Structure 1
Amino acid sequence: MIPAYDLHLHAGPEVIPRKYDALQAGEALRRDGLGGAVLKNHYYSTVPFVQMARERGIENVWASLTLNHYVGGLNPFALRGSLGLREKDGRPLLRVVWMPTVHAAAHLAVRRGLGERYDVPPEWTGGLVAGTPVDQVPPITVTDPQVQDNLREILSLIAENGLILATGHLSKEEVFYLVPLAKKLGVEKIILTHPAYVTTRLTVEEVKELTALGGVYSEQSYALMPIDHLTPAEVAAYIRGVGPQATIMTTDLGQRAGLSPREGIDLFASLMEKEGISPQEIVTMAVENPAALLGQR
């Protein structure tokens, strides 16, 4: 029963059916002895939901913004708007800014390759249509010359406010473009979003190259095993290759019929222990590293 901090928990209300809203997530985390979670939404900022949770005494959830077209894509104004609501100590409720996910060019290419019609995969929604036809979505690419001013402004705002940059569903080439640029512009905390995911496919050696830049963490997510069919051995190989000191464990849960964060973290930990990852290494990745990224330590 480790007091994990889950930096990748999906929550509603959202078009995609979710297990929890912000209040329910906070209550479940508290009841089950977790440290807290960052709430993710593919459609809009979770800042207003976290503010409502704060007003009801929930202190263990934090907000994020995902830069899909639903918030204007690589839109600095969406980020500025999400910075307005703050904690009592002045820090933003917003803690993580994700690069595009369902509207990233790499994500859309995968969806088209699978013959899917919508930007949001049906396995995320239980078969419900909960998105936009892929042929109607202009793909977002962070290397596009036309978005460079906006991208640099976004990265500068992330740096100025001490936020975490997460790479989303970008391609490998985009990640190798984005991360050094973010470091150059002063971003100190970067998460490589589940680097084994089909849109990105970073190898262990490539992840090591990026984490060597400092302040860059490899995210290993429980949900990639049951949903995307990554094996526990493959996940453990990333952990051993990159090192626990540069890795965080998340659930990427929140699916309506899925496990709770506690169930997900505990099962993830059990699977990794069977692959030879030690209990202390799991604490490093599930508690210490994410807590430090959140500024909770």
Structure 2
Amino acid sequence: MEENRLKGIIDLHIHTAPDVRQRKMNDLEIMEAAVARGVRAVVIKSHVAPTVGRAEIVNRVKEEKYGDTSDFQMFGGVALNRFVGGINPWAVETALKLGGKLVWLPTNTAENHCKKQDKTNWVSVVRDGKIVPELKDVFELIKDYDAVLETGHISPEECRIVAEAARNAGVKKIVITHPEFWVVGMSVEEQARIVKDYDVLLEHVYAQPIGGGVYKKNLETNVEAMKAIGCEHFIVATDSGQTQNPYWYESIKEYIDYLYDVGGFTKAEVDRMTKENPAKMLGI
């Protein structure tokens, strides 16, 4: 029988329906696929709305349907884009009170993202080399709830400023969101430096958009970064859900197979990136 390489894994980055953009799978379909494969947990993400309440409903459905035959859990969070008021501590506090685990800094309305795509009406996290004042309250909430600060689509320089300010504020869990994504544009050397200086984790994902609705796989360059910096500093996630890409369970299986069969990583190394590091972030 083929080994089930998805058993016990955790994916911290999946886009699901309902959404303003068409998605490949909805929340319940993700749950069913995860339970069938023995997946430990996933985090559903939206650029436009908090996902915490949706995750809680899915968990209740899972419990009623599967009881203690599955330990799968779905988690949510909030992305601090224009749609929730930008850097909005009230939105963060509400999401965390409801059980949210991840707080993403602005993604598709981040200043860095908008400038690279010639858009306006962005959300800033840094002004004049310092974090915006509202972030201080956000950091305090993240610290108090032992949540995860994700950097979203901000620039490498902004990531460093944010990471330093967050560490100084007592934030314990910081993840650099897909630094390989061209919008973020963090070189391997910059990734290694921010890991060394601020002890952050690097989330590397399955694929990224390159324009015109086309996506390219990141697997080869992800492996190169993992080998250069060290697996202990990485989280494997898919950032899946786009109609152009495979179904989530196909993406994560292909990614993990690649780590073993092409990357040559050991089970301990793969487990660190797919199970242990994400579990530590979720506190499970």
Q: Same fold (TM over 0.5)?
A: yes
- CA displacement, residues 230-282 of structure 1 (integer Å, 9 cap, x when unaligned): 55332111101221111010011012353233211221122233133333311
Counterpart-to-counterpart distance in 1, 2:256 and 2:25: 22
Structure 1 counterpart of 2:82, from 69, 73, 77: 69
Match of 1:290 among 260, 274, 278: 278
Percent identity over the alignment is 29
Distance 1:159 1:254 in 2: 30
Give the deviation of 1:225 after TM superposition. 8.5
Q: How many pairs are equivalent?
A: 266
284-293 vs 40-49, which moves further: 284-293
CA-based RMSD of the aligned residues comes to 2.1
3-state SS of paired residue (1:8): strand
- Using the alignment, how far apart are the partners of 1:22 and 1:233 within structure 2? 29
Q: Quick one: which amino acid aligns to residue 233 of structure 1?
A: E
Match of 1:40 among 45, 49, 68: 45
Task: Note the alpha carbon deviations across 1:164-192, whole angstroms, 9 max, x for none.
Answer: 01100001111111011111101111111
Q: Is the partner of 1:94 in helix, strand or coil?
A: coil
The correspondence of residues 217-256 of structure 1 with structure 2, limited to 5 A, is 217-224=201-208, 228-229=215-216, 231-256=218-243
CA distance in 2, matches of 1:25, 1:233: 26
Q: Which runs of 5+ in 2 are unaligned?
A: 64-71
2:36 alignment partner, one of 31, 35, 42: 31
Q: Which residues of structure 1 form unaligned runs of 5+?
A: 86-92, 113-133
2:116 alignment partner, SS class: helix
Change in CA separation of 1:231 and 1:69 when aligned onto 2, cut-off 3 Å = closer
Q: Does residue 279 of structure 1 match 2:267? A: yes
Quote the residue 2:111 is aligned against: 105
Matching residue's letter, 1:216:
V
The equivalent residue for 1:121 is none
Residue in structure 1 matched with residue 14 of structure 2 by the alignment: 9
Give the Cα separation in 1 of the matches to 2:40 and 2:282.
Answer: 11
Decide whether aligned partners of structure 1 residues 231 and 74 sit closer, same or farther in structure 2, where only a CA change above 3 A counts: closer
1:188 is matched with which residue: 158, 172, 184? 172
Contact 2:259 2:265 survives alignment (8 Å): yes
Q: CA distance change for structure 1 residues 185 and 166 in 2, over 3 Å: closer, same or farther?
A: same
